[in-house]
Amino acid sequence: MQAVSAKNGFFSSSVRVFNPEHGLFTYDEESQLCYFNPNSFETSDQFFLVGVVIGLAIYNSTILDVALPPFAYRKLLAAAPISPVPSSAHPRPIMTYNLEDLAEWRPRLAAGLKQLLDYDGDVEETFGLDFVVPVDKYGTVLQVPLCPGGEWKPVTNANRREFVDCYVRYLLDHAVTRQFEPFKRGFYTVCGGTALSLFRPEEIELLVRGSATALDIDSLRAAAEYDNWGSKNPDGTEPVIGWFWDTFKSAKPSEQRKLLSFITGSDRIPAMGAALLPIKISCLGEDEERYPIARTCFNMLSLRRYGSQERLEHMLWTAVHESEGFGLK
């Protein structure tokens, strides 16, 4: 029960804090990724707690729907506290920022800066830019200098690379220092020590978000558990169980992920495989005009003994699609 409570708490926390309306993170519609909100009114304690939650999720092998860009995990590993004990693990990476990093989070802005770099004409005359970045602080646009005297330093063909480098570093680093520092401290409060240095950034992302590879429905089926069917393993004796797995396996990949999210709260498989995400299928009784019920904190799907596969599919997909955008049980 403690593990269930932990999962429920982690998932609820991640859904809440990564919602742009909460103000801790900003969301890009094109990339569908979040990053620290430099204009957040939240205290450093809030960002510290977010770091703690992500660290605890790794410790408890719990998947979170945390849509940070890949470079954020590289940034996090580069900020690891220096251990007094020499380690034979991967050397601590030196964090740099480039246009490709920005493209992960804000692809449209990155494309515009790339056009500036590739422009063949007179950059100063055509674009009329200075070494400043426009920052929208809740309706008020401020021009923040990217270097001392930046508001009087025009962007030219000769210095446009410097401008882009400063622009990218400001957005991904300097602008979010107040938010990132407590987040980092919270994370390493839980995940301190040398063990984490064994991992690469993409492996940390796997531990947090799970695998984005195609779902292995057969592995999920093999790890499944059952309750209230009259036998320990009704797969093979209860038609509705077979229909469910056939429906799951034959669905489009996007629909498979929606169904997995409906049941577990995440559309991904843990990095260590489906065995760490056992789906429990329980019986609600005989066929009635009632939809399946999912309880994400238990990874549980409750089904009735529907009379046909067509009826199961109708009731199941209606429940999945109607639940999108609503709260989770």
Active site residues: 297
In terms of C-beta density within 10 A (0-12 exposed, 13-18 middle, 19 or more buried), how is residue 35 classed? buried
Q: How many CA atoms, within 13 angstroms, populate the side-chain half-sphere of residue 25? A: 24
Indicate the length of the chain as a whole number: 329
Q: Return the amino acid letter for 254.
A: S
Determine the number of helices (DSSP H) and then strands (DSSP E) in the chain. 13, 8
Single out the residue of 165, 188, 184, 194 nearest to residue 72, CA to CA.
184
Q: Return the amino acid letter for 269.
A: I
Per-residue tokens: 111:
């494309």
Whole-angstrom Cα distance, residue 256 to residue 175?
38
User: Both ends of the chain: CA-CA distance in Å?
Assistant: 16
Neighbours of 81 (CB within 10 A): 11
Q: Measured on CA atoms in the order 70, 75, 76, 77, is the torsion positive or negative?
A: positive
Whole-angstrom Cα distance, residue 186 to residue 51?
4
* DSSP reduced 3-state for 88: coil
Q: Compute φ and ψ for 215, nearest 5 degrees.
A: -70, 135
Q: How many CA atoms, within 13 angstroms, populate the side-chain half-sphere of residue 134? A: 7
| Interior/surface letters 83-107, b for 16+ CB within 10 angstroms, e for the rest | eeeeeeeeeeeebebebebbbbbbe
